[in-house]
Every structure is written in C-alpha cells, then in structure tokens.
Amino acid sequence: MAENEVSRVESVSREDLESRLREIARRHHPEEILDRLELTHLVQVLTNDALLVGDLYTRTALGQILDRELPSLPVALRALAQRADRKGPEDTSLLMEVRRLPEDLKAVGDKCLLDVGLVGQREFRGISLIDLGRRSYEVASRIMERLAADPTLSRFFKENQLAALPIEEEVLFLQQCSRRFALYADLLHWLRADNPESREERALAGTQPATLSPGPGAGAIAAITAVPMIEEAVVEGEDGSPDPSPSARPQPAGDRVQLPREELLAAYERILLFSALDIPALGERLGETVVGQSGAIQALCDEFTLYATGTHNLNRPPSYLFVGPTGVGKNYLVETLLEILEQGWGLEIPLLILEGPNYTYPADINELRGATRGFIRSDEDGVLTEFHKKSATSPLSVILIDEVEKAHPQLRRFFLSIMDRGTVTDNRGKVLSFANSMLVFTSNIGYSDLRRQAAPIGYGDQASKDRRDAQDVRRSLRRALSPEFINRLRPIHFDHLGPESLERIFDLELERIARRFRDIHDLEVEVTPAARTELLRRGTSHDHGARHLRARMETLINVEISRRIKSDERRRGSGHNRTLKYLRALKTGERPFDLDEVRARVMKVARARVSYHRFRVDLKDDNFVYEGVKEPS
C-alpha cells in the first residue's frame, strides 16, 4: 500500500534519500544530470504525508486538467475578478487564493509521480496518471507564467516569499517537471525496487485520493493590478494645521531641493545609509586592498562624512579628480569601494565607465546623449539615458571617466552642466538627473614627466622634492584642463608605489592566483623566496606601478602554471559532453538556473587530473623553474 511504501521511505533521512536517488540516476540514467533542485523536489514528494491524505483525484477535476482548452479556468478567473472588484485590490487573502491554484495543480502532479513511481499505480478510473501528472505540471506552469507577467502579483509573491524559487524560475521548473516526469517516475520505481520488501504485491489504499478544489485563478489580474496612486502624506503641525514639507519651507535658492520624487527619496536613502556607515572602518578595509594610498583613501572618506550628515548639496553630484601615476589604484579604489558598499548595504550600485581616449572627436559626444534626430541611430537611447534607467532610483551610482585628459575638450564641457545642475538633456528632450551619482575623473597629467626630471642642485631631501612634484602636477593640470572644469572638481592625489607597497601588492596578487588554483584544481601554489625576489625585481616599474607587476605575475605564474598542469594532465574523465548539454539547456531556458549548481558542475569537469597537489615556482640560474610536488607516501 502507498502508506507502507512511504513509511519505509520516511524512515530514511533526507540526506540518505538524496544520496540513493543520485546513485540510482548515475546507475540507470548515466546520460542525465539530476541537479539539486530536482533532488529536493523528489525528496519532498517522497516525504509529503499530505499526498496520502484526502482525495486529490476527482472526475471533474481530472477532466478539467486534461482538457487541452481548460474550459473551466476562464469561469474561475472571471469569478475571482468579480470577487476582487468587491474586496478591493489590496486584499491579501485574495492574492493568496490566486497563488494556491498552481500549488493545487502541482500537488496533483506530485501525487501522480508518487503513485506511478513508488506505488506502481499507472491508471485511475481509466485515466493515465502519467498523462495527468505531466498535464498538471504543465497547467501549473502556464498559470504561474501569467502571474509572473503581472507586475503587482509578481511583486507580491517576491515580497511574501511564497515560492521557493523566484516566480520566473518556478515557471521553468514546473515545465521541466512536466517534460521529465517519466524520468522522475523511473527513479522512484528503482528506489522501490531496491527494497526487497517492496517487491511483494500491493493493493491500492481503500481511501479515495484527494479533492482538487476548483479554486481561484489568474483572471483576477485585471482587478488586482488596479493599484491606486499613492498620495503624498500630510504632516500636521503643533497647532493641527498642515506642516509644510521640508521642500516647501522657505529655503535659500541655492539649497532648495529640486529633484523628482523617486530621486529625492533615493537621496534621503543615501543619507541614512551613510549615516549608519562606520566610515573609519570603511577606510581601514579600503587600505587593506588598495595599497599605498592612505592619503587618497582618507580624503575620500572625509568626503563621505558630508553624505552621512546630509550637508552636501542634494541637487548636484559630488565630483572628484583622481590624479596620480598610472597603475597606482585610482580605478581600483572606486571598484573596491563599490564592492564593499554593495556587500554592506545588500544592493547593487550602478557603475558606468567611460574611457577618455574613446571620445577624441566632438561627434563622439553624441554617444552619451544619443544621436540628433535625423542622423543615424537617432532612434536609439544614448549611453547616459540607458544608465539613468538604473541609477535614477538607486541611492548611489558612479560615473567614472578614465583618462579624461585624453578626451576631446567637448567631453569636459559636456559634463559641466551635470556638475553644476545635476542634469543633462538627451536627444529626445528628456531631462536626466544624476544628482544621486558620484562623478570621478581620473588623470595622470604631470606624473609621466616627473620621472624624467632631475632634482635641482641643493634640493636633495624627499620632502622638498614632493612639494616640487606637487607644484609641477598642479601646473600641468591647469595647462591641460580649463579653469572652469578644474574649479568644479575636488582633487584627490595618489602617490607613487614604494617597495613596501609593491611587496604587499605582490602578496595580495599571489594569494588571488593561488586561491583560484586551490578552488578549481585543489592545487596549492608556492613561490620560493628566490623566485619572489626575482618576480618583484622584474615587476617593479616606477612608470607603470602595480599594473606592470600584475602583468608580470599573470605571465610568469598564472600562465606558466596553467601550461604545466595541462601538459602533466592525465586522461580526462567522462562528463564533458553531458555538462555541455546541461549548460546549453540552461541557456535556452529549458532548465531553471541555479548558480551554485552550475559552478560546481563546471568546475568538477574542468579540474585538472594531475598526480600532485602542490606546485612550486623556484629560481635556478636566473631562470624560473616550475614543478609539481608529490606528497611523500
């Protein structure tokens, strides 16, 4: 009986069930991949007591599910829409009923899977349970697809976490359950067959399987999505009269906030986020990764105190000029900052990078606002219009203009209005606000000449040289960039990297490379002191900074080790073609996407099959030596 079969299954832990199912799939269906979502689903089917209680099969319900046109659903949907009109669009119980319909259909599919696979029952009152199971999952996916297409319902489900998967992924998973029903049933069949007691003849339980309530449907979408406009809140003053909002109170003209509602809310959100931020701790974390730039980091963190107190101008984006030698971490500081803030705040911070050398002609600027009407591609949005779609409601976004001195002067003039008013008009006349963005321009003006300059006689101390260098850089900036552009920026200077800084960068970069080999190939990488000294010598460049060091390490460590382990690799195992097939099914949307599952499968197949677990880089006779080290037996 079904109860006896399931009781035997329930005596096994979920981990053991997953292990047994995985082994059955490997033995009986070696060409198929059973992923984690599928294993979890099958275990839930096996351990769900509700599938044995009540009546999930009734002739009316089964006929409705198997009918290709689903004549009963429109009736249910219209009835639900009428109820929505009566109850109002914010009735949560009604939304819960909408969500329950595909769940009820999925329960029928699960029940069919249990009966066909574990119990061995193929029909019920002349109806094929295989067809019924497939059809139940299919209909559930179609209804979920309609729910996913509706913004209000989709948002409701996400906020209330009613689905184990995002609603779009659940649609794909239900479709997969329909397509692979026979495979799942066969796996449960072999799970039953592996148990000697289960080979005895069994009769169906005397109780009728469970009832499928007609339930509500997606026809209430039209009523539920009629969400009224949110009215502005009115705050009463002490005398009971309406208290004007801060933007309505008398303010100096220069301080009056003139942002659209959503962007103003985003600006206030930024103030709250920065006010709760431990800025000294942020500086320490930045200093651990961006080496040798404590002055630049401190200057940037000082700026963030204005964000935290809300005393910066909300109408204009803060604008900075990161100036320093090439390869010392100007761009890296921005990238690291955003990574830390995203981790701490749990949100994505939009970043737009514009390469100055790509804008060497005046016409190139049209790419930013969009081509003028009548010209080629004038119907397409400009780069800033596309970026504004993501940045408008974000509390913080960053526009990074790299090597600004190499761009045409028209690019710098273009950004003057954004730095002044926080807005720019695109090719269709739409005003784009970037008040919530942070503008960062980078430049190495002046530093490329300092290396070639000799110190004047009588001025040998380092402090005097640093002052002269700073003066030379400022003069170079003012010669290359216009005063109206320079005066709108807060300059932040970056220093040359000294030997100690390069050693720290070497250690960080070596750990990054070693971690990749450790995670992917289970291979430890070690560099001898002699090799380390030589790598630092070859990677040190006053003109190119850390960029040159990283390039040398990439070539002499990462590339060379990869070449050697590929040449030492033994015959590759099977699974390459199966994993390719699995990835292509994910790309075409045939299977739901699980990032951890995909990464684990790809890395398992990509792992090198070598006879050692340690790789050493050494130096002998001024040449690097690469060798795999076998552990002593």
Q: Which of 104-108, 180-184, 267-271 has the highest mean pLDDT?
A: 180-184
Q: Is the pLDDT assigned to residue 242 strictly greater than 50?
A: no
Query: Does 95 have pLDDT greater than 70?
Result: no
Q: Do residue 412 and residue 291 come from a single domain?
A: yes
Query: Residue 247: pLDDT above 50?
Result: no
Shared domain for 276 and 424, answered yes or no, is: yes
| 3-class state of residue 331 by DSSP | helix
Look at residue 335 and tell me if it is in a domain: yes
Residues 508 and 475 in one domain: no
Which pair of tokens denotes residue 232? 């502005």
Cβ atoms 539, 548 nearer than 8 A: yes
**603 has pLDDT over 90:** no
The pLDDT score that the predictor gives to residue 439 is 94
Can you give the pLDDT at residue 64? 58
251, part of any domain = no
Look up the CATH number of the domain holding residue 521: 1.10.8.60
pLDDT reported for residue 134? 93
Question: Are 21 and 89 members of one domain?
Answer: yes
What is the C-alpha to C-alpha distance for residues 571 and 517, in angstroms, rounded to an integer?
Answer: 19
pLDDT class for 335, splitting at 50, 70, 90? very high
Is residue 13 domain-resident? yes
If you average pLDDT over every residue of the chain, what do you get? 77
The answer to whether residue 592 is domain-embedded is: no
What per-residue confidence (pLDDT) applies to 571?
67
| pLDDT for 350 | 94
* Per-residue pLDDT tens over the stretch 387-398: 998 888 899 999
Dist CA 178 CA 210 (whole Å): 21
Range of the structural domain that residue 53 is part of: 2-224
Alpha-carbon distance of 554 to 296, in angstroms, equals 27
Residue with tokens 């090799």: 531
Give the residue with greater pLDDT, 426 vs 65: 426
The residue whose two tokens read 């799939």 is: 25
Closest CA to 324 of 3, 87, 78, 543: 543
- Tell me: do 345 and 413 sit in the same domain: yes
Residue 283 sits in the same domain as residue 336: yes
235 falls within a domain: no
Identify the residue with better confidence: 382 or 6.
382
Would you say residue 388 lies in a domain?
Answer: yes
Alpha helices in 161-204 (DSSP H): 167-179, 181-193
- 47 and 176 fall within a common domain: yes
| CB contact at 8 A, 576 and 606 | no
Q: Is the pLDDT of residue 358 over 80?
A: yes
Tell me how far apart the alpha carbons of residues 260 and 435 are, in angstroms, rounded to a whole number: 10
Mean pLDDT for the stretch of residues 498-524: 90
The angle at the Cα of 366, spanning 365 to 371, to the nearest 5 degrees, equals 175
- The stretch 207-225 carries a mean pLDDT of 30
Angle between helices 151-160 and 129-149 (to 10 degrees): 100
Q: Domain ends where: 477, 493, 509?
A: 493
State the pLDDT at residue 233: 36
Q: What is the pTM of this model?
A: 0.61
The confidence score (pLDDT) of residue 205 equals 40
Start-to-end Cα distance in the chain: 55
> What was the pLDDT predicted at 252?
45
- Looking at the fold, whether 422 and 534 belong to one and the same domain comes out as no
Q: What confidence tier does 240 reach under pLDDT thresholds 50, 70, 90?
A: very low
Tell whether the model's pLDDT for residue 145 goes beyond 90: no
How many domains does the chain divide into? 3
Percent of the chain with pLDDT over 70: 71
Backbone angles phi, psi at 165, to 5 degrees: -115, 160
Residue 475 and residue 446 in contact, taking contact as beta carbons nearer than 8 Å: yes
Report pLDDT digits (tens) over 453-488: 444 444 445 556 556 666 777 788 888 888 889 889
Between CA 492 and CA 335, with CA 277 as vertex, the angle to 5 degrees is 45
- pLDDT tens string 550-579: 899 999 999 999 999 888 887 666 678 888
Q: What is the pLDDT of residue 378?
A: 62
- Residue 304's CATH number: 3.40.50.300
* pLDDT for res 248: 43
Does 245 have pLDDT greater than 90?
A: no
Closest residue by Cα to residue 142 from 113, 111, 174: 174
Residues 488 and 503 in one domain: no
Residues 533 and 486 occupy one common structural domain: no
Distance of alpha carbon 168 from alpha carbon 74, whole angstroms: 23
User: For position 458, what pLDDT does the model report?
Assistant: 45
Residue 278 pLDDT class (50, 70, 90 cuts): very high
**151 and 196 share one domain:** yes
With respect to residue 579, please indicate whether it lies within any of the assigned structural domains.
Answer: no
Instruction: Say whether pLDDT at 195 is over 70.
Output: no
Min mean pLDDT across 237-246, 416-425, 458-467 is at 237-246
406 and 378 belong to one structural domain: yes
Instruction: Name the DSSP letter for residue 293.
Output: -
Distance, CA of 551 to CA of 536 (rounded, Å): 12
- The arithmetic mean of pLDDT across residues 330-356, rounded, is 93
Mean pLDDT, residues 201-223: 33
Query: What was the pLDDT predicted at 284?
Result: 92
Write 256-259 long-range contacts (CB < 8 A, 24+). Answer: 256/315, 257/314, 257/315, 258/315, 259/314, 259/315, 259/422, 259/433, 259/435
Q: Which of the given ranges, 196-200, 265-269, 384-388, has the highest pLDDT on average?
A: 384-388
509 lies in some domain: yes
